[in-house]
């Protein structure tokens, strides 16, 4: 009925059917946009959880020690350091540099090194050290009780909130725009109300595109 009223054509004509099909297509596209938004939000949540777990592992990693998870052992296993017995050393073991640790001299080399877990751990600890050292431009007042991992997780939560949360300005703007439309639209004929809904659907689709 709406398509025949808008186009002024007989009900059931090909032109009326094409317009009716465009309404249904618009509704399906809007639904798919919502589904994609939900899938993206779930993927972002899963990735954020994985990143926060990795940061927690980095924060708990010890720099020195014979533990398999310590940074010293990982550097020894990768061939950057070597443990040599030395009775004069505090631990009875001296660390010798076998190979220099490089961050990558070219773009392709840096991109390839980003996939190395040891390289990512060293980069994270370097950034953490620069952030927490009092002589740096940032610094913290009490590095011994400051958790860099908790700080990064807090910042990550704020970033995710800004991506998925609707701010108060958007809610107020929606209220200001839709309230008059609803107030004047309740007294319109059924066909006019349906046309108004389709117009809003097209505008929403155009804004999303």
The DSSP call for residue 133 is: -
Q: What is the pLDDT of residues 78-108, one digit of tens each?
A: 888 898 988 888 888 888 889 888 888 888 8
pTM over 0.85: no
Burial of 6 (0-12, 13-18, 19+ CB in 10 A): middle
The whole-number average pLDDT for the span 190-197 is: 72
Between CA 156 and CA 162 the distance in angstroms is 10
Q: What is the CA radius of gyration of the chain?
A: 30
Q: Which tokens is 39 given? A: 């899938």
Residue 147: φ, ψ to 5° = -105, 110
What distance lies between CA 167 and its chain's CA centroid?
Answer: 18
Q: What is the pLDDT of residues 39-85, one digit of tens each?
A: 888 888 888 889 899 889 988 888 888 888 898 899 998 888 898 98
Q: Which tokens is 95 given? A: 């660390």
Most confident of 22-26, 144-148, 149-153: 149-153
What per-residue confidence (pLDDT) applies to 127?
85
Distances (CA, A) of 3 to 30, 185, 199: 20, 19, 13
């Amino acid at each position: 009925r709406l398509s025949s009223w808008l186009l002024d054509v007989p009900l059931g004509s090909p032109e009326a059917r094409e317009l009716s099909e465009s309404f249904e297509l618009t509704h399906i596209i809007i639904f798919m946009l919502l589904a994609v938004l939900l899938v993206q939000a779930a993927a972002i949540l899963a990735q954020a959880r994985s990143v926060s777990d990795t940061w927690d592992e980095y924060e708990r990693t010890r720099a020195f020690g014979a533990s398999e998870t310590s940074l010293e052992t990982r550097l020894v296993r990768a061939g950057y350091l070597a443990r040599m017995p030395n009775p004069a050393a505090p631990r009875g073991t001296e660390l010798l540099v076998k190979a220099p640790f490089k961050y990558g001299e070219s773009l392709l080399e840096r991109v390839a090194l980003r996939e190395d877990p040891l390289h990512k751990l060293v980069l994270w600890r370097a950034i953490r050290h620069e952030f927490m050292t009092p002589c740096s431009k940032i610094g913290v007042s009490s590095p011994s009780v400051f958790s860099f991992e908790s700080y990064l997780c807090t910042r990550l939560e704020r970033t995710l909130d800004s991506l998925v949360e609707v701010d108060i300005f958007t809610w107020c703007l929606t209220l200001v725009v839709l309230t008059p439309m609803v107030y004047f639209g309740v007294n319109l004929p059924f066909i006019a109300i349906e046309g108004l809904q389709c117009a809003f659907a097209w505008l929403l689709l155009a804004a999303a595109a």
